[in-house]
Structure 1
Amino acid sequence: MLRAIRDLLAELSGERSAARLPEDRQRLAAAALLHHAIAVDGMVTEAERTRLHQLLVVHFGLGEREADDLYAAAEAADNEAVDLFGFTNVLKQALSEEERGQIVEMMWELTFSDGALHEFEDNLIWRVSELLGISSRERIRLKHVALRGGAASN
């Protein structure tokens, strides 16, 4: 997992080409964005932490230990990053529009997991959606899906 963090940071700094990205780097980029979504308001609640862990297990098909490792790596990558472009660029190159939409939907679900939507969270998802090439209409649709609990069933 440390190699994945180093590789991602090398990619973010422009030291490497992103022609074909391994699945671990895609997972790390997605998980770092998801972590950023729960941390952007300045307080990570236990409900948010638990829901992010559950999403990592379900979305990526990970075991508990693997999800714990990915969570730790994502938190470290998020703390090291200076912007969101590096993460979104990895995902935009590697994932289909539908898969990128799933990331946005999970971000919405995480922001609602503590019972409140903070303006920083709303703004973050708008910026990430733009960087991922998700339209405003689709972003709002995904917000409503997440509000109805749709991400949990995907």
Structure 2
Amino acid sequence: MLGSLKVFFDAVRSGGSNEASKVDGSEDAVAALLVKAGTLDGDFGADERQAIEALLAARYACSAEEASKKVDEALKALENSVDFYNFTKVIRDEFDHDQRVELMEMLWEVAYADGVLHDFEASLMRRVTGLIYVTDQESGAARKRVMQKLGLAE
């Protein structure tokens, strides 16, 4: 707890930038956002972790071990981060519109990995939608595709 407060105040003193939470590229940013979605309900279980690893392996054509390493690195990056703006900025700068919509679909898949959408996960989805310049309609359509894919009722 005190470590989190120190990170927060260090970031405030440095004008909002936090060296520890900076990301090297879009792969790190995607992994961090997916992990953020998986951890928001307070229970980062095997369902979420497996969903994230599978999404990363498919998106970046990497092995299961590499995907697992990306998840571990994302967890560390999020521990040292006071927000997720740095991650969404990378996505906005490096992804075209279709890729950002695809990311929303990936995020919905992680949010529904345990079969339930938690209020905190829904809030994250609304915030990320705006930060990466995806419309609510596009995010809603991505959500419906995921629910259909996972066999969940609306």
TM-score using structure 1 length: 0.80
Structure 2 counterparts to residues 125-144 of structure 1, below 5 A? 125-144=125-144
Q: Distance in 2 between matches of 1:14 and 1:39?
A: 21
Aligned to 2:39: 39
Query: Is 2:121 the counterpart of 1:121?
Result: yes
For 1:26, the equivalent position in structure 2 comes to 26
Equivalent residue number for residue 3 of structure 1:
none
Instruction: Point out where structure 2 has 5 or more consecutive residues left out of the alignment.
Output: 1-15
Q: How many residues were matched structurally?
A: 133
Alpha-carbon RMSD across the aligned residues, in angstroms, is 2.0
Larger Rg, first or second structure (1 or 2) = 2
CA-to-aligned-CA distance 1:106-143 (integer Å, 9 cap, x gap): 11011111011111101101100100000011111111
Unaligned 5+ residue runs, structure 1?
Answer: 1-11, 16-20
Cα distance between partner residues in 2 of 1:43 and 1:69 = 19
Tell me the TM-score normalised to structure 2 length.
0.80
Quote the residue 1:91 is aligned against: 91
Q: Percent identity?
A: 30
Moved over 3 A (4+): none
Q: Quick one: structure 1 residues 14 and 79, their matched pair in 2 at CA, closer, same or farther if it must change by over 3 Å?
A: closer
Question: Contact 2:37–2:107 at 8 Å: present in 1 too?
Answer: yes
Query: Counterparts of 2:18 and 2:53 in 1: how far apart (Å)?
Result: 30
* CA deviation after TM superposition for structure 1 residue 59, in Å: 1.1
